[in-house]
């Protein structure tokens, strides 16, 4: 399913970062796969974000398949988001416990599908990045340890906080939640990283997944 079709059928919340960029890029890139171009754009943006480096017009145009007009559209979208939602604020969010995590991630309680999101933290427990790991169906989602470990290593973080929602409204962790948490915790430990917490959010409440 193409990104535009997916948007119309499932809504913007179900689009990945690459699919959001793909809609901005469009299909008018002669002789090139616009999804491949979008993937390169997202990769460049994430690298720039991890290095705290601003993205310039020349950086975007240097990506094969991106012209000046497309580059300006993307950068204008980023700037609009920054102005409206204070993206890139100099004041970093601190997450030391489940309550801190819930305050940042409680918006996923409104999702109709099950979302798994992660907060990647540095050694001072500052949030380096919030990222949606995967999106499931109405009441289930499949997440693998590598889905968390790979971005954690990319961001050079020290610890990770996971959260997912239960659209049913019951925040009680399931046996599968506990099993997945154990696997992710073990996987992160193998590469020297810490799973700080995993919480289940439903309605206006949350519970920790105890392993």
Q: What confidence tens digit (pLDDT) does each residue in 5-43 have?
A: 888 887 877 778 778 888 877 754 555 677 788 888 888
Could you tell me the residue range of the domain that residue 44 belongs to? 3-85
How many Å apart are CA 140 and CA 162, to the nearest integer?
16
Which of 143, 208, 140, 197 lies closest to 171 in space, CA to CA?
208
How many Å apart are CA 34 and CA 140, to the nearest integer?
31
Specify whether 65 is located in the same domain as 107: no
CATH of the domain at 156: 3.40.140.10
Residue 90 lies in a domain: no
User: In this model, does residue 51 exceed pLDDT 80?
Assistant: no
Q: Is 30 helix (H, G, I), strand (E, B) or coil?
A: coil
> For 74-83, what is each residue's pLDDT tens digit?
888 877 776 6
Reported as a pLDDT band with limits 50, 70 and 90, residue 137 is low
Instruction: Specify the number of domains making up the chain.
Output: 2
Residues in CB range of 124: below 8 A, 6 or more apart: 94
Residue 40 lies in a domain: yes
pLDDT of 119 reads 95
Longest dimension (CA), the chain: 52
Strand pairing partners for 121?
127, 159
Residue 92 lies in a domain: no
How many Å apart are CA 173 and CA 164, to the nearest integer?
10
Q: Is 116 helix (H, G, I), strand (E, B) or coil?
A: strand
Residue 93 lies in a domain: no
Specify whether 21 is located in the same domain as 122: no
Which of 147, 188, 145, 127 lies closest to 16 in space, CA to CA?
147
* Structural contact between residues 37 and 44, judged by C-beta atoms closer than 8 angstroms: no
The one-character DSSP state at 101 is H
Residues in CB range of 12: below 8 A, 6 or more apart: 20
């Amino acid at each position: 399913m193409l990104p535009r079709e997916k948007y119309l059928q499932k809504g913007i919340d179900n689009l990945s970062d690459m699919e959001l960029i793909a809609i901005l890029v469009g299909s008018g890139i002669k002789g090139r796969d616009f999804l491949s171009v979008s993937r390169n754009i997202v990769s460049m943006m994430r690298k720039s974000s991890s290095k705290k480096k601003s993205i310039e017009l020349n950086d975007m145009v240097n990506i094969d398949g991106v012209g000046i007009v497309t580059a300006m559209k993307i950068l204008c979208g980023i700037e609009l988001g920054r102005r409206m939602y204070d993206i890139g604020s100099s004041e970093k969010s601190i997450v030391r416990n489940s309550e801190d995590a819930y305050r940042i991630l409680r918006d996923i309680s409104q999702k109709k599908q099950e979302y798994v999101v992660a907060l990647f933290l540095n050694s001072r427990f500052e949030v380096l990045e919030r990222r949606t790991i995967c999106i499931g169906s109405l009441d289930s989602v499949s997440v693998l340890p590598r889905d968390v470990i790979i971005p954690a290593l990319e961001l050079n973080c020290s610890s990770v906080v996971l959260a997912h929602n239960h659209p049913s409204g019951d925040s009680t962790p399931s046996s599968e939640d506990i099993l997945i948490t154990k696997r992710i915790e073990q996987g992160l430990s193998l590469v020297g990283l810490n799973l700080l917490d995993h919480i289940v959010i439903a309605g206006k409440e949350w519970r920790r997944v105890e392993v």
